[in-house]
């Protein structure tokens, strides 16, 4: 009864669940999967409190014919999901997410994502680059990615966003990545991609939210600079944090040095967050992000 060789990527599913905690959830879910011939490859769960808390679970399983049987499985799962008051989704590993990268002039974060995509480390399609400047047109061209220049002029953001949203529909985009995109999105835009817009902020949030965080960090004399990748919400720099990291600096670093060093931090922190998102490792709960490792 060992698994046959040649397991197909098409057969890998990822089930994400959050619900009120109570005994028996793991047993019920694993039994449901087992009875349908699924093999659990990895499973992780967490409870904020076994007595009345919230339960989170991510199960990666293999199931022959998942691609074909997906809808049926979802239908069959419904009664269990309802009885346990689950928020849940079933993702197919083979349905690679399609990303749009929004940029301004800075290259580093975009380049890192392109590179990780080519090297096979980022399991997503980079379908589209949208920029409010033209500086990165050639970079996108070199990597063979469609590039659209949509300037965002004062007082005309609504029109620009309309154009952006139309493109996102045309390219069937799942997730929007703000790779040092120096514009604030309107709540209207954000609402259409709830928990599907990832931004990289160049500070250790909540410290130094808003503009010019490196200048503020220098002014305050911090000994570590940071970067934060988070989902975008209506409130600026306040959405659920997916990943953060820091780097040591000292008195010899000028604000320009912090900006320069920070780029290396930003590209890594953003790339990790995007990878985790496209692998369905992130569950948003209130204003916090649960990241299954």
Residue from 8, 9, 34, 135 touching its own copies (CB under 8 A): that is 34
* Six-digit token string for 184: 């604030």
Residue 170 touches its own copies, criterion: CB under 8 A: no
- Judged by CB under 8 A, the chain residues 180 through 239 that form the site for its own copies are 204-208, 220-224, 226
Rounded Cα distance between 58 and 140, Å, is 35
Residue 144 touches its own copies, criterion: CB under 8 A: no
Residue from 13, 213, 240, 262 touching its own copies (CB under 8 A): that is 240
- The Cβ of residue 111 has, within 10 Å, a number of other Cβ atoms equal to 16
b/e sequence 53-89, b meaning 16+ C-beta within 10 Å: ebbbbbbbbbbbebbebbeebeeebeebbeebebebe
Residue 260 touches its own copies, criterion: CB under 8 A: yes
DSSP code string of 22-85: -TTHHHHHHHHHHHTT-EEEEEEEEES-TTT-EEEEEEEEE-TTHHHHHHHHHHHHHHHHHHTT
- Judged by CB under 8 A, the chain residues 49 through 68 that form the site for its own copies are 50-52, 56, 62
Catalytic residue among 237, 245, 250, 257: 237
Is residue 257 part of the annotated active site? The answer reads no
CB 247 within 8 A of CB 224: yes
Residue from 19, 30, 123, 148 touching its own copies (CB under 8 A): that is 30
Surface-to-core class of residue 164, CB atoms within 10 Å of its CB (0-12 exposed, 13-18 middle, 19+ buried): buried
Residue 147 touches its own copies, criterion: CB under 8 A: no
Q: Which of the ranges 4-12, 74-82, 150-158, 159-167 carries the binding residues for its own copies, by CB under 8 A?
A: 4-12
Nearer to its own copies, 164 or 199 (CB): 199
- Judged by CB under 8 A, the chain residues 119 through 138 that form the site for its own copies are 119, 121
Q: Of 251, 252, 238, 214, whose CA–CA distance to 289 is shortest? A: 238
Q: Which of the ranges 35-43, 68-76, 161-169, 171-179 carries the binding residues for its own copies, by CB under 8 A?
A: 35-43
Residue 95 touches its own copies, criterion: CB under 8 A: no
Nearer to its own copies, 26 or 158 (CB): 26
Residue 244 touches its own copies, criterion: CB under 8 A: yes
Nearer to its own copies, 130 or 268 (CB): 268
How many chain residues are in contact with its own copies, going by CB under 8 A? 75
Residue 154 touches its own copies, criterion: CB under 8 A: no
H and E: helices and strands count for the chain = 8, 13
- Write out the catalytic residue numbers: 237
């Amino acid at each position: 009864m060992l698994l046959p060789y040649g397991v197909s990527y098409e057969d890998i599913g990822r089930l994400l669940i959050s619900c009120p905690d109570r005994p028996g959830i793991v047993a019920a879910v694993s039994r449901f999967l087992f009875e349908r011939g699924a093999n659990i490859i990895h499973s992780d769960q967490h409870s904020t409190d076994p007595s009345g808390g919230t339960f989170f679970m991510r199960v990666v399983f293999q199931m022959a014919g998942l691609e074909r049987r997906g809808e049926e499985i979802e239908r069959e799962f419904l009664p269990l999901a309802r009885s346990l008051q689950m928020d849940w989704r079933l993702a197919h590993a083979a349905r690679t997410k399609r990303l749009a990268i929004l940029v301004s002039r800075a290259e580093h974060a975009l380049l890192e994502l392109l590179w990780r995509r080519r090297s096979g480390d980022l399991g997503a399609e980079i379908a589209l680059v949208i920029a409010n400047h033209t500086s990165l047109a050639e970079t996108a061209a070199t990597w063979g990615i469609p590039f659209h220049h949509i300037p965002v002029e004062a007082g005309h953001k609504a029109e620009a966003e309309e154009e952006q949203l139309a493109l996102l529909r045309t390219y069937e985009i799942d997730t929007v990545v703000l790779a040092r995109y120096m514009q604030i999105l309107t709540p209207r835009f954000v609402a259409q991609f709830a928990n599907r817009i990832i931004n990289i902020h160049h500070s250790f949030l909540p410290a130094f939210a808003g503009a010019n965080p490196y200048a503020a960090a220098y002014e305050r004399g911090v000994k570590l600079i940071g970067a934060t990748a988070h989902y975008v919400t209506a409130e600026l720099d306040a959405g659920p944090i997916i990943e953060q990291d820091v780097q040591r600096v000292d008195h010899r670093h000028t604000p320009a040095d912090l900006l320069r060093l920070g780029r290396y931090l930003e590209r890594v922190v953003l790339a990790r967050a995007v990878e985790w998102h496209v692998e369905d490792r992130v569950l948003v709960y209130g204003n916090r992000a649960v990241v299954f490792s």
